Structure 1
C-alpha cells in the first residue's frame, strides 16, 4: 500500500482477491471502476473540499452525500443514491486505559473529562469499489486493509466484502470500548463498597462514565439502522452473493449485542449512582447512632458530678467514701450503657 499527498490519499486494487495495484492516482479511479474484474478502494484522509468535489463530479457522486462526508455532526446513517450508497459510521477509542483499580484518583476537572474519542468514516459504495473519507487520522485504515487481505476468497465476492470488512472493524472497536467501560464500572463497584467510602472519587468517576456512555450510545445504537440499510441496498449495487449473507447476519448480531451491552452499562452506572446515595445515607445514620451513644455515655458523669456538685448535703457528704460512691455510680452506669449500645451496634 502506498500513499500520496503527504499520506492523505491511499489506494489499492484487487483482481480475483489479490492485490495487483497500489497508489494509483485519483485520475485513474473512473477508468478502473469500469473493469469487470477489478475491485478498488480509495481512502481520503481530511480531503480538500474542492478535490473531493472534483472526484465526485467525475464519478457521479451525489452532491448531498459529498456535503455529508465533510460536514461536522453527521449521525451514523446509510443512504441510497442513484449510483451509489453513502454511509457514515464512527469508530471509537478510549484514549487512556480503563480504570479497574480502586486507587484514589485526583478529583480535579480533568478527571471529569470524557476519555472517549470518536472518528468519523464516510464511505461511497460503488458497484466495483469503495471510497472512504476520514475526518481525521485517528482511525487507522491499515487494520481494515489487513482484514481485507487476510481473506482473498471473500474479496472475490465483490464490494460487499469490502463494506463488511470496514463495518466489522468499526464494530469490533465498539466492543473494545464497551469492554473497557465495563471494566471501569467493575472497578468503580469495588471502590463504592470500600470502608473508607471515597465519596468524591466515586462521584467524579460516575459522572465521567455516564458522559462516556451517552457519547458511545449515540454512535453504537444507530449502527443497527446502518447495517439494515446496507443489507437492503447491497443487492442493488452488484450481483448479490448469497455467500455474504452469513457474514452480514453475524455482523448484525454483533451490532445488536453492542447496543444491548451499552444499554446494560448505562443501567449499571445509574444503579451505582443510586447505590452511592443510599450508602451515604446509611453511613450518616451509622455516624448519628455512634454520636448519640457516646453522648448518652458522656452525659452520665456530667449528671452525677453536677448533682454531687450542688451546695447541699448528699450521700457521703464530707466523707471520703462519698467520692468513691460517686465515681462508682459514674463507672457503673457508663459501662452499662456502653454494653447496651455495643450489643445493638450503635457504637
Structure 2
C-alpha cells in the first residue's frame, strides 16, 4: 500500500497541494521544506514513484496546486488538469520543464507553470567532470580489472586534462561552474559567444568564440550546457559535429534535444569520438538502443542533478513557488495563469 504523507489535514479551509508521485531520494528533503507552508496550504504526498497517468489524475482530483517531478505530463493529462480540476498552478521539480510539459497548452489552459533555477549548477558541473574523468582515466574499468586480479599497467595509461582545451557550449550557471572547475584543472577554457553576457566571460575567464564550428574544431573537450527552449532545440547540428576532431571528448549533461535529432549518434558511430552522456532522446534508455552499443561511450541515467545539495535547494525553490502563488506573487514563473 502506498504511504501518504499529509500536513494539516484538518485545515480544510486551506488550499490543497498534491505531489502524486515522488522520487525516493526527494522524500526527506521536501518534507523538510513543508513547514514553510504552515497556514498557507495543506500538502498530500504519495510516497512512491509512478508515471501512470490514470493514477496521477485520480490522486490530484481535489488539488489546487500540483508538484511534478520525474515524469512527463501528456497533453491529455494536462487537458484533464486544466478542464476537470481546480489546479491552476504546477510546480515542476527542475529547470527543463519544456521537456516535460507542453507550455503553450498550459498557457492556453491558463495554468501557471513554475520551475527551479540554478539549484543543480554545482551538481551537474561535478557530474560533467565525473564523465570526463572516466573517459580519460577509465577508473571504473580499472577497478573491475584489479578486483579480477588483473594488474595491467598497459590498461592504466590515461590522458591528462591539464593543458587541454575545453570548449563550452552554453556559458550559463552550469557552464560557468564547469569553466571554474576546468580552470582549477589547468585547462584552457573557451565558450561559444552566443547570447552570453560579457560579464560571464569576465567572471569565468573563458575566451569567447563567435563561430560554433571554430569552437568545436579547436577544442580537445566539448561540453554542452545549453538550456532547452524553442531557440536552442536542435541548435547543434550535424554539420557542427563534423568539426569534432578524432579523439575529441564530447560531453552532454544538458538536454539531448539541443542537438539535431540523430546527429550525435551518426557522428559517434564513426568510432573516433569518446563521449560521456547523461541525457538522451528517449528516457529511460532501452538496453537495445543503438547508443548503448557505440564503443568508447560512457552513459549515465540522467542523474547529473541528483545530489544532496541540489535536492535541498530544489525543494526550497519548489515551496517558495507555492508560497508566492498563494500570496498572489510571482516566483520562477515560466507560464503565467494570467496569460
Fold shared by both chains (TM-score > 0.5): no
TM range (shorter): under 0.3
Larger Rg: 1
**Normalising by the residue count of structure 2, what TM-score does the alignment of the two structures yield?**
0.23
Higher helix share goes to which structure? Answer: 1
**Normalising by the residue count of structure 1, what TM-score does the alignment of the two structures yield?**
0.23
* Larger relative contact order (CA 8 Å, sep ≥ 6): 2
